[in-house]
Structure 1
Amino acid sequence: MDNITHSLVGALIGQAGLKRKTGLAMPALIIGANLPDVDAACFFWLDGVEHLGFRRGITHGPIAWVLLPLILAGALWWFDRWQASRGRRPKGRLPVHFGWLYALSFIAGLSHPALDWLNVYGIRLLEPFSSRWFYGDTLFIIDVWLWALMGFATWFSLRRERQGGEWRRPARIAIAVAVGYIGLNGAITAYQYDFEKSVDHGSTKIISPVPIQFWSREVLTYQENMIWSSTEWDGALKNPEAINRFCFDDCPGYPAEKVCDIAPVRALQNANPQVGVFLFWSRAPFAERASDGSVILRDARFYDPRARDRFSVALPDVQCSPLAPR
């Protein structure tokens, strides 16, 4: 999920009452909820799409669950002592308890991979013991409804606290509603997976949440060596002509001549690091013909012809091989 969501989760946990356990509890919760994304620093030394094979891995796995909160708790404990030694420690701050700092950092840190698992991007939950990707397919990576719920609840709780009222209850209610909302979305995805299996046993499906319309799902269907169709579902199948992004069987959404055989591209994964990393990360790879006849390697989960595509590898030296007739 995005870092606004992670930050709001940390803040809401604090407003539910845990921030009274120790001084610097809120920094421990908010920073801890974002700390696994320290792997974003890889952009400074990795080129192209190599970051796709590094992120959501080692800093999101079991070793990091233990070590990152320990580092954060130690840093906050030291900061409190440093301020005290210089006479700058705020008088209103609660006594700092290292054990509670670690516990809160640990709780917040665990919320991060739990949320990241919920979308179609995926997460390597067992890294470094296993590089397997896990996908929850439950929420879109930016969920404005969670923003609204948790943002309002945090603001309202803080306001009640300043006024001397009961401030824990709004946060606790919001946490319960958020958990229920996530459960509802999980049920929608599970229902759609069951429905797709009942009508089509031969194809692999990806049920992808869409922005804003949390009740809708995009259904990506895999056949042979390509992602070949994309339709949107909201309880009843919408007009395919209006919403197909990929369609290679006589529909206007995506012309068949733009699709290349991906097999020659797969053969390059050992020789071309960019291709190798992309295919390691990609859940729905397909090869698209560029305007000059070369190949662009893409992922159907994040393909939008109207926007700049950060999830692609251009292969100017590889000519598009047309798909064999079916």
Structure 2
Amino acid sequence: MDNLTHSLVGAVLGQMGLKKKTGLAIPTLILAANLPDIDAACLAWLDGIQHLGFRRGITHGPIAMLVLPILLWAAMLAFDHWQARRGKRPAGRLPIDKRWLLALAYIGCLSHPALDWLNNYGIRLLEPFSSQWFYGDTIFIIDLWIWIALGLSVWLSLRRERGGATNWQRPAWVGFTAICVYIFANGLITGAAERTTATALAASGHRDALVVASPPPLAFWQRDIFWRTAERYGSGSFTPGVGGNLDISGLRAGMDDPRIEGWLMGDPDARAFLFWARMPVAQPDGDAILLRDQRFMHPLAQDRFQVRLTAPDTATRNQ
């Protein structure tokens, strides 16, 4: 998910009452909720499309989930001690409870891969032990409704707290519960869309098709459908209670082009792209091959998620 969503999750967890457990609780929760995205800071040395094969990997895996919270915990303790030595520690800040501060660092960090798994971009939850990608296909990567629900919950909770209400945590709990129900309901919609599509494809002879039901940006109750076999791919749509609209015949995926294997040897961008791609498509582009991914072939996104593969002696690409 985007970093605003991660930050709002950290804030709402604090407003649910966790911020009263220790000093520096809110900044720890928000920083921890974003910390696995530290891999984005490493992208400066990666050229072109290679960041696709690097993101959501090692800093989202089990070793990072063990180590990153401890590093953040140590940094927050050092910051508190530094402020105390300089006489700038806020008088109203709660004392630091080391055990609770570490627990909050873990809670915030673990919320990050849990949310990232929900969309269809992909996350390598087991890196470095396995490079397998995992996909939830449940929530769009930037969900406006989650922004609104979490933002409103935090604002109402803070307003009640500042007004002296004893139940100031309630709006945060309501917002958190609502988002959990929202995610669960979206999971049910995705499951129904994928089962319906798989049944229709099997009836038409595509029995081993991979089906991905992708939520659109705003109409969360709908699904964009992508399907593919080794040779063909197609798309469609699904709406609960209405049914699906599916292209059964499909188009040639083109990944059996014999040139691809040889040309990949000299093209790190293309190798990184295919490592990341879940539903790769190869399309002729003059003397080159345009590698794309079905999930991101919308005109507004396709330029960021494609690579032009050329013969080694004419290795130029447009992205």
The two structures share one fold, judged by TM-score above 0.5: yes
For each residue in 1:68-94, what CA deviation from the matched residue of structure 2 results, as whole angstroms up to 9, or x when unmatched? 010001101100000110111111110
Kept in 1: contact 2:39–2:55 (CA 8 A)? yes
1:284 aligns with 2:284: no
Matched residue SS, 1:10: helix
Instruction: Give the structure 1 partner of residue 9 of structure 2.
Output: 9
Instruction: Give the structure 1 partner of residue 269 of structure 2.
Output: 274
Instruction: Give the structure 2 partner of residue 205 of structure 1.
Output: 211
Amino acid in the other structure paired with 2:176 = I
1 CA distance for matches of 2:243 and 2:175? 33
Kept in 1: contact 2:264–2:309 (CA 8 A)? no
Amino acid in the other structure paired with 1:182 = I
Distance 1:105 1:306, change over 3 A: closer
Runs of 4 or more off by more than 4 Å in structure 1? 237-240, 246-249, 258-263
- Taking the TM superposition and a 5 Å limit, the aligned residue runs for 1:85-234 are 85-165=85-165, 166-201=167-202, 202=207, 203-226=209-232, 228-234=233-239
- Cα RMSD, aligned residues only: 2.2
Distance 1:263 1:160, change over 3 A: farther
For each residue in 1:29-57, what CA deviation from the matched residue of structure 2 results, as whole angstroms up to 9, or x when unmatched? 00000000000012211111111111111
For each residue in 1:186-228, what CA deviation from the matched residue of structure 2 results, as whole angstroms up to 9, or x when unmatched? 01111112212222232221111111010111111113335x3
2 CA distance for matches of 1:143 and 1:263? 40
2 CA distance for matches of 1:264 and 1:222? 21
2 CA distance for matches of 1:128 and 1:110? 17
Instruction: Give the structure 1 partner of residue 59 of structure 2.
Output: 59
Residue 265 (structure 1) shift: 2.0
1:305 aligns with 2:299: yes
Amino acid in the other structure paired with 1:302 = F
Distance 1:176 1:19, change over 3 A: same
Instruction: Give the structure 1 partner of residue 84 of structure 2.
Output: 84
Kept in 2: contact 1:225–1:263 (CA 8 A)? no
Matched residue SS, 1:298: strand
Residue 98 (structure 1) shift: 1.9
2 CA distance for matches of 1:277 and 1:307? 18
TM-score of the two chains, using structure 2 as the length reference: 0.89
Kept in 2: contact 1:205–1:222 (CA 8 A)? yes
Residue 132 (structure 1) shift: 0.7
Matched residue SS, 2:304: coil
Distance 1:60 1:152, change over 3 A: same
Matched residue SS, 1:295: strand
Residue 262 (structure 1) shift: 4.3
Unmatched runs of 5 consecutive residues or more in structure 2: 313-319
Kept in 1: contact 2:263–2:309 (CA 8 A)? no
2 CA distance for matches of 1:247 and 1:299? 19
Residue 170 (structure 1) shift: 0.7
Amino acid in the other structure paired with 2:215 = P
Matched residue SS, 1:160: helix
Kept in 1: contact 2:28–2:105 (CA 8 A)? yes
For each residue in 1:97-142, what CA deviation from the matched residue of structure 2 results, as whole angstroms up to 9, or x when unmatched? 2221110010010010000001111111011111111111111101
Instruction: Give the structure 2 partner of residue 324 of structure 1.
Output: none
Distance 1:45 1:204, change over 3 A: same
Amino acid in the other structure paired with 2:210 = T
TM-score of the two chains, using structure 1 as the length reference: 0.88
Distance 1:24 1:247, change over 3 A: farther
Amino acid in the other structure paired with 2:8 = L
Amino acid in the other structure paired with 1:313 = V
Amino acid in the other structure paired with 1:314 = R
Kept in 2: contact 1:12–1:153 (CA 8 A)? yes
Distance 1:152 1:259, change over 3 A: same
Amino acid in the other structure paired with 1:221 = W
